[in-house]
Structure 1
């Protein structure tokens, strides 16, 4: 399983290309051959997946009951705008203009790694989101993680 770490401040060039930071590229050793997929996030941001991770998501989506309206609707909106990305010889990816407009991204961006995906935010939106950290983060942690069972050894 892919385990991506880090937060990277980047800039898009005038053509909407993103230089993949070397620290991130090292965590994606086969990215030149396998590629990436970019998609809309649930909030106003984009999500970049290693191609194999995206293929696993699509496999899960294909198992859903497409005779149900809410399922079709979810799949339609979730996959809307999904685009394969390939790195050029300079290590850049060209991000689709429609996705950049959706996320309100212009030049300055933040790449925020989360497990097996990379969230791509406009720098101002990301800074605003992080500035709104819950007043009592410990309570949020307890609400989200407090009922999780620990290992059998009690840890």
Structure 2
């Protein structure tokens, strides 16, 4: 499993292409051979997955009981818009227009690494999202989310 790090400001050209930043590309050694997958996120953003990570998600989805309506609806909705991305000779990927419209991404965007995936945000929405939580609120959130590890004792190595 590859955990990605970094936050990158990028620009789209008029055709909707984005150059994958070199520092991010170095973290994705198989990207030129295997490509990536982009899909809608849950918060009006996009999410880019490595092919290996996307395949893990597909495996999880395939185990859902398709006789249950909520499972079918979730899979249908989640898979809607999923698109393969391949780097061109200039190291660019073409982000689908429909997905860019969904996430309200204009010419300026932010790639925010989030463990094994890359979130794609309009620059304005990302700044708004990050400003929505104050430093004090973030400290409280950290205690709520990560404090449990101290209660369990030890670390997970």
Class of the TM-score when normalised by the shorter of the 2 chains = over 0.9
Q: Distance in 1 between matches of 2:155 and 2:105?
A: 45
* Unmatched 5+ stretches in structure 2: none
Measure how far apart 1:75 and its partner are: 0.7
How many residues are treated as equivalent by the alignment? Answer: 154
Measure how far apart 1:47 and its partner are: 0.1
Q: Which residue of 1 aligns with 2:154?
A: 151
Measure how far apart 1:151 and its partner are: 2.5
Measure how far apart 1:141 and its partner are: 1.3
Q: Secondary structure at the match of 2:44?
A: coil
Q: Which residue of 1 aligns with 2:139?
A: 138
* Unmatched 5+ stretches in structure 1: none
Normalising by structure 1, what TM-score?
A: 0.95
How do 1:73-92 residues align onto structure 2 when only pairs under 5 Å count?
73-92=73-92
Q: Secondary structure at the match of 1:147?
A: helix
Q: Distance in 1 between matches of 2:124 and 2:137?
A: 23
Q: Which residue of 1 aligns with 2:28?
A: 28
Q: Secondary structure at the match of 2:111?
A: strand
Q: Distance in 2 between matches of 1:50 and 1:22?
A: 16
Instruction: Give the superposed CA RMSD.
Output: 1.6
How do 1:5-154 residues align onto structure 2 when only pairs under 5 Å count?
5-134=5-134, 135-148=136-149, 149-151=152-154
Moved over 6 A (4+): none
